[in-house]
Amino acid sequence: MTDTAAPADPDAVLARYHARREQAVTAPQGNLALVNTQWITGDPASEQPVWGVPGLWSPLPAGESGLKVTAVATDNIFVDDVLVDGSAIVRGKDDPNPSAVRFSETVSGFVIASEQGDYALRVWDAQSDDIQRFGSIDAFPFNPEWIITATFTPIEGGRTVGFEHLKDDGATRDMVIPGEITFTKDGVDYNLAAFKAGRALQLVFADSTNGESTYSVGRFLFVVPNDDGTVTLDFNLAVLPPCAFSYNFNCPLPPAQNRFAVPIAAGEKNVLAKDGSLLH
């Protein structure tokens, strides 16, 4: 009988975590599979091609979720498992019942929404060039120095912080910060901003390793406050943002208060190709 119990020592636990991460980014709709994000805007009567896939795509009237696709049967586009021969509505991810699109056995898609109410088609290829070239996610060895117990202080009603995004030309998007994360390390006081990401909080941070031994844009850490008013910041679990894997993502950038002047030698570092070089 095979023992499938979780490993007890930190190095083995971290190795299993990294193995799961590499499986996730190479999945059919993992980060490395994203080959296009194309925004479809303008007059709903217009029809636009999307790079890499068949069909013509058009926006819907304001207030309606998703896009319209027009295609013939030989285009082999399936929306919610129904072959498109004419036109079909592809509901966005902001709809309670979003649509799934299939172009082939390996190419799929779905529609995302912006805060402004625009919609884009995302195209995923389970056999993308990046998946074929991928070698590993380089990471630091386990570092107990960067497991920190911080204080989480809820903010009634939350506080709005503007986050820049990689492709937004300096514009900011308001994100609600539900509480303050504070701690002191090596005589320096920190007050970090983390926004809601499902049931967790997403900390977007930078440190002095960025552009040297780690990805230049920064990294993410997902945390959950404890019932006792603390939050554990285990930077060994820090991950690369999706934009480190595909240029078709638009990632949030670390706000000023989340920029560490010191190196955080823990967590993921860079995406590597099979030959050990940087994938991007």
* Mean pLDDT value across residues 184-194: 97
Angle at 24 between CA 256 and CA 176, to 5 degrees: 30
* Mean pLDDT value across residues 223-231: 95
Alpha helices in the chain (DSSP H): 10-25, 129-133
pLDDT single digits (tens) 52-108: 999 999 999 999 999 999 999 999 999 999 999 999 999 999 999 999 999 999 999
pLDDT single digits (tens) 232-252: 999 999 999 999 999 999 999
* Mean pLDDT value across residues 108-119: 95
> What is the rounded CA–CA span in Å between residue 137 and residue 19?
9
CA distance to 107, 110, 238, per residue, from 103 (Å): 5, 11, 34
Residue 60 is predicted with a pLDDT of: 97
Is pLDDT above 60 for 4? no
* Mean pLDDT value across residues 3-27: 86
Residue 169 is predicted with a pLDDT of: 86
Q: What is the mean pLDDT of the chain?
A: 95
Is pLDDT above 50 for 1? no
C-alpha torsion sign, points 213, 215, 216, 219: negative
Residue 5 is predicted with a pLDDT of: 53
Q: What pairs with residue 147 in β-bridges?
A: 234
280 — pLDDT class (breaks 50, 70, 90): confident
Residue 7 is predicted with a pLDDT of: 52
Q: Residue 133 corresponds to which tokens in the numbers above?
A: 């070239």
* Mean pLDDT value across residues 191-201: 94
pLDDT single digits (tens) 154-170: 999 999 988 999 998 88
Beta strands in the chain (DSSP E): 34-40, 48-50, 53-59, 67-71, 78-79, 82-83, 86-90, 101-102, 107-113, 119-125, 134-139, 147-164, 172-185, 188-192, 194-197, 200-205, 219-223, 230-234, 268-273
Is pLDDT above 80 for 274? yes
* Mean pLDDT value across residues 204-224: 97
